[in-house]
Amino acid sequence: MKLYYYAFSGHKWGLDRVKRGVALIKALRDEDVEVQLLVNDFRAGLVAKELGVNGSVTIETIMDVDVMAEDGDIVFIDTPEEERGRVEQYSNRYKELFHIVDNDNMKSRFGEHIISPNGDLTSAIIDNIYFDILEKEDRVVFFLNDSDYEKTIISKKDFFEDTDMELILGNYFFVKYEDDLAKIFKTLYEPEDYSDLIRSSKRVVTASIQTALEARASEAKVLYILNGNEENSIIKMLSRFNIDTIDGFDKNNLSLWLNSNVELNEKVTVSAKEVAIKIKNKLNL
């Protein structure tokens, strides 16, 4: 019996699901449970390796999970793709199926286990490294996402003016895009610096849910930019972790947030380790 974790990725979508999957796979490995990571592209596999999970396998879509997994295996699927009956098929074929979703109201239909934002098995899965707090530096870093396919940062450049925010580049940013971004930000950091910067910055502004969670675990003050498509369950989760939000690239509310002096008293306590232990117990491994 083998375990597989399929994390959807791509240059239009970013790496949030891969980072979440890596966090859980590492935590399960610490519990002596080995999991094979499946991703959609080579770059995602390289990032997973940098984060501590080697040997990922690239597949095309959710339809191809069964190219790797065999009858009696255990499978995790974390994807926004249309599943086209695959949840039912995989639930019937595999010993256990875990389905990571963004809506707490999603119910198990075929005996699969649901992992949701505010469920007993939560999708707020944060790598244990972010609980190893680094000394904070008085800076504000901005991380949009690992992808900026639509060049959102350039189109919203007024949002960043006179803020002194420092930019962390994404892994999927276009070649030479950095030259345009350097006209907006005085300081740019390479994607390889991401983890240390998230752990050591006092304030983090982001449009990535995974980054928002990681930054809060690192005891930063966090502002998440809502895109209007988030499930209510996601917004509830952000509130539960004391993550501030603004509607889109609202410069006025950004300024208010940057000038606020609210101290965060509550620490994030839910880590990938807790989720991994619950999963291991469910599987009787």
For residue 213, give the H/E element and its range.
helix 209-217
Same-domain check for residues 230 and 278: no
Distance separating alpha carbons of residues 99 and 96, to the nearest angstrom: 10
Residue 264, pLDDT score: 63
Evaluate whether residue 263 is within a structural domain.
no
Same-domain check for residues 116 and 182: no
- Whether the pLDDT of residue 180 is over 90: the answer is yes
Same-domain check for residues 116 and 138: no
Evaluate whether residue 198 is within a structural domain.
yes
Same-domain check for residues 184 and 276: no
Same-domain check for residues 56 and 158: no
Identify whether the C-beta of residue 242 lies closer than 8 Å to the C-beta of residue 216: yes
Residue 285, pLDDT score: 80
Same-domain check for residues 104 and 183: no
Evaluate whether residue 266 is within a structural domain.
no
Kindly tell me the sign of the dihedral angle through the C-alpha atoms of 36, 37, 39, 42: negative
Identify whether the C-beta of residue 254 lies closer than 8 Å to the C-beta of residue 278: no
Same-domain check for residues 93 and 188: no
Same-domain check for residues 110 and 174: no
Check which CATH number belongs to the domain holding 246 and give it.
3.40.50.2000
The CA-based dihedral angle spanning residues 197, 199, 203, 209, taken in that order and rounded to the nearest 10 degrees: 90
Q: pLDDT band for 268, please (50, 70, 90 cuts).
A: confident
Residue 187, pLDDT score: 97
Same-domain check for residues 99 and 190: no
Mean pLDDT of the chain: 95
Same-domain check for residues 151 and 229: yes
Over the stretch 85-101, which tens digit does the pLDDT of each residue have? 999 999 999 999 999 99
Domain assignment of residue 195, given as a range: 129-258
Evaluate whether residue 45 is within a structural domain.
yes
Same-domain check for residues 74 and 110: yes
Check which CATH number belongs to the domain holding 13 and give it.
3.40.50
Residue 266, pLDDT score: 67
Distance separating alpha carbons of residues 271 and 209, to the nearest angstrom: 15
Evaluate whether residue 166 is within a structural domain.
yes
How deeply is 230 buried, as exposed, middle or buried, from its count of CB atoms within 10 A (0-12, 13-18, 19+)? middle
Structural domain count, the chain:
2
Residue 262, pLDDT score: 63
Coil, strand or helix at 108 = coil
Q: pLDDT band for 284, please (50, 70, 90 cuts).
A: confident
% the chain with pLDDT above 90: 92
How deeply is 117 buried, as exposed, middle or buried, from its count of CB atoms within 10 A (0-12, 13-18, 19+)? buried
Same-domain check for residues 169 and 110: no
- Whether the pLDDT of residue 204 is over 90: the answer is yes
What per-residue string of b and e applies to 241-271 under the rule 16 or more CB within 10 Å gives b?
Answer: bebbbbeebeeebbeebeeeeeeeeeebebb
Phi, psi for residue 49 in degrees, rounded to 5 = -65, -45
Q: pLDDT band for 267, please (50, 70, 90 cuts).
A: confident
